[in-house]
Amino acid sequence: MVFNSVTFFVFLFITFLIYLKAAKHSVKSGNFILLSASYIFYGWWDWRFLLLIIISSLTDFIVGYELFKTDSARKRKLLLAASLIINLGMLFVFKYFNFFVDTFLAAFGNGENQSSLIRIILPVGISFYTFQTLSYTIDIYRRQLTPTKSFITFFTFVSFFPQLVAGPIERAGRLIPQFEKKFEFDYHQASSGLKLILWGLFKKVVIADQAAVLVNAVYQTPESYNGISLIIATLLFGFQIYCDFSGYSDIAIGTARLFGIELMTNFRTPYFASSIKDFWHRWHISLSTWFRDYVYIPLGGNRKSNFRKHLNILITFTLSGLWHGANITFVLWGFLHGFLYFVESIFSPLKFINKKAITFAGIISTYLAVNFLWIFFRAESWSQSKNIIGIIFNQQKGGSESIASLLSVSGILTEPARMLVFIFPFFIVAEILLNKNEFPRILETTPRFVRWSFYYLVLFAILFFGVLNSAPQFIYFQF
C-alpha cells in the first residue's frame, strides 16, 4: 500500500473514522486502532515481515524497562548490547547479507554457484523503524528518557503507519507523549494536514514520477546518450529524488496531523543550501540528526583533536551512505559528502567583502556538487557511475541520443514534456516561497480566492499531469 494509491486513501478514510470513535472512549483504544491500522498497512506488502517489527518492538520494550530499573553498569551494558545485536543483526541479515556475500564471491569465488545462493528479500522500511526503536533504548541507557509503561503505546510509536516506511525517524521523547494524551480534534491542524498531503502528492506524482520517466530512460543505457543529456538527466534526478522523498514526508506529516500527531520537519528547501553542512541541516533532517546524536557525538564529535573531528565526520557520512543501501556507490556517495564537508571546514575562515555574493556562489556551488554526487546515488554500479562521469567530462565517448528525442516521442513520454514546460517553473516559484515558511502557513495570509484557486490548480495538475495509473513506489522504500 503506497501513499499515491486509491487504496491508501480508502484505508486512511476508514481508519480515521474508526479512530475518531475509539479515541473518544480512551487513549488506549485510540492507540490500539492506530497500532492495528499500522500493522494492516505494513502487512499489505508482506504480512510475514510483521514478525520483524514485533520482535524489534518487544525487544526494546523489555530492554528499556529493564534498563530503567537497574543501576548495575555491567547489566545495563549487556542490555544495551542485546538491543543492538538483535536490531542491527536483523538489519544486517536482511539488508546487507546479499551485498557481503556477493562481494566475497567476487573477490575469492569463481562465480559459478552464485545463482544457487539464497537471496534475502529486503523488508520495506526496516532501516527506518530499526533506527527509531534503537533511539528509544539508547536514550534510556543515557538516562535521558523514562520508558513508557504501555506496550500498546510503545508498539504504536515504533509502527505508526504515516512514517513507518520512510520516516521521518522520530525520537521517543517527542512522539510517545503525543500518543499518551487524549485526542482532541483540531480543525486547523487537520486542515493543514490535508493541505500538506495535497502538496506532497503533487510533488510525488507530477514532478518526481514524470521526471523519473526521463531519468530512468537515460540511466538505463547511459552509454547511448551524450554528455549534455546525462547532465540534464542527473539534474532531473536531483529534483526527482527531492520531490519523491520530501513528497513522502509531506504526506506522512499531513496524515499524522489528522490523528493529532505532529511529526518533525524532514526537509527545508535543501537546494537553497549555501554549503554541504547547510545542505545536511535541510535534507533528511531526521536521519542526519540521528547520526549526529548516536554516531558522531559518541565517536567524540568535535571534542577531540581537529584530526579526530574530521575523521569522525568522514566515518559518520560514510556510515550514512552505507545506511542507504548495500552498494559501494552509496558508501562512496556518503564518503564524498563527508570529504566535501571537510574541505569546506578548511576554507570557512576565509572572509569576503560582499556577503551576498559569497552566499549566492555558495548556493550555486553546493547545488552543483550535490547533484554531481547524485550520479553515484543513482547509478547501478561503480562502473556505470565511472562511465557516466567519463562521458560528461569527454574522457569517454557516449552515444548520439539526447533527451530532446525522448520528449518528442508519442504516448506517456509526452507527459514529461508538458511537466517541464508548464509545471516545473510553477514548482520552482513555490520552492522559493517555501524557503521562508511551510506550505499551509504561506497561504493562510492570502485572500480566500487566491488560496482556493491555488488548491484547485494543484489538484488539476495532479489529475491531468500526474502519474496515477501505475502508482510508482517511493524511492526511499528500498532503504
- Residue-wise pLDDT tens digits, 1-39: 788 888 999 999 999 999 999 998 899 999 999 999 999
Q: Name the band, by pLDDT with cuts 50, 70 and 90, for residue 211.
A: confident
Both 154 and 218 in a single domain? Answer: no
β partners of residue 225: 401
User: What pLDDT, on the 0 to 100 scale, is given for residue 116?
Assistant: 47
Residues 20 and 130 in one domain: yes
- Verify that 172 and 258 share a domain, yes or no: no
In a domain, 307, yes or no: no
Q: Is the pLDDT of residue 352 over 60?
A: no
Judge whether 165 lies within some domain.
yes
Q: 134, 156, 178: which is the final residue of a domain?
A: 178
What average pLDDT does the segment 351-380 reach? 83
Q: For 77-122, what is each residue's pLDDT tens digit? A: 999 999 999 999 998 888 877 666 666 556 566 555 554 445 566 7
Are 95 and 70 part of one and the same domain?
Answer: yes
Q: Report whether the peptide linkage leading into residue 168 is cis, meaning its omega lies within 30 degrees of zero.
A: yes
Is residue 417 domain-shared with residue 466, that is, in the same domain? yes
Residues 141 and 227 in one domain: no
pLDDT at 102: 62
Residue 281 inside a domain? The answer is no
* Percent of all residues in the chain with a pLDDT value above 70, rounded to a whole number: 84
Tens of pLDDT, residue by residue over 307-345, are: 888 899 999 999 999 999 878 899 999 999 999 998 888
Is pLDDT of 348 > 50? yes
pTM: 0.89
Are the CB atoms for 32 and 25 separated by under 8 Å? no
Q: Which residues are catalytic?
A: 324
Q: Which amino acid is at 206?
A: V
Contact of 55 with 155, CB cutoff 8 Å: no
Q: Classify residue 74: in a domain, yes or no.
A: yes
Instruction: Report yes or no on 404 lying in a domain.
Output: yes
Reported as a single tens digit per residue, the pLDDT across 240-287 is: 999 999 999 999 999 999 999 999 999 998 999 999 999 999 999 999
Q: Which grid coordinates are listed for 21?
A: 470513535
User: Are residue 80 and residue 145 in the same domain, yes or no?
Assistant: yes
* Predicted pLDDT at 412: 43
* Residues 362 and 398 placed together within one structural domain of the fold: yes
Range of the domain at 81: 6-178
Could you tell me the CA-to-CA distances from 407 to 36, 224, 307, 414 in Å, in that order? Answer: 45, 16, 50, 6
Domain count, the chain: 2
Give yes or no for residue 43 having a pLDDT over 50. yes
Per-residue pLDDT of 218-235, as tens digits, reads 999 888 888 888 998 999
468: confidence class by pLDDT, cuts 50, 70, 90: confident
Q: Are residues 166 and 216 in the same domain?
A: no
> Are residues 100 and 46 part of one domain?
yes
Q: Where a domain ends, among 147, 178, 209?
A: 178
Distance in angstroms (rounded) separating the CA atoms of residues 422 and 221: 28
36 phi/psi in degrees, rounded to 5:
-60, -45
Mean pLDDT of the chain: 85
Residue 410 pLDDT: 36
Whether residue 287 is contained in a domain is answered as no
Residue bearing the bigger pLDDT, 46 or 163: 163
Query: Residue 115 has what pLDDT?
Result: 47
pLDDT digits (tens, 9 = 90+) for 285-297: 999 999 999 999 9
In a domain, 343, yes or no: no
pLDDT at 110: 54
Of all residues in the chain, the percent with pLDDT exceeding 90 is 53
Instruction: Give me the pLDDT at residue 301, please.
Output: 81
297 in a structural domain: no
Banded pLDDT at 465 (limits 50, 70, 90): confident
**202 and 246 housed in the same domain:** yes
Q: What is the pLDDT of residue 45?
A: 81
Residues 151 and 236 in one domain: no
Domain boundary among 143, 158, 178: 178
Q: Residue 98: phi, psi to the nearest 5?
A: -60, -40
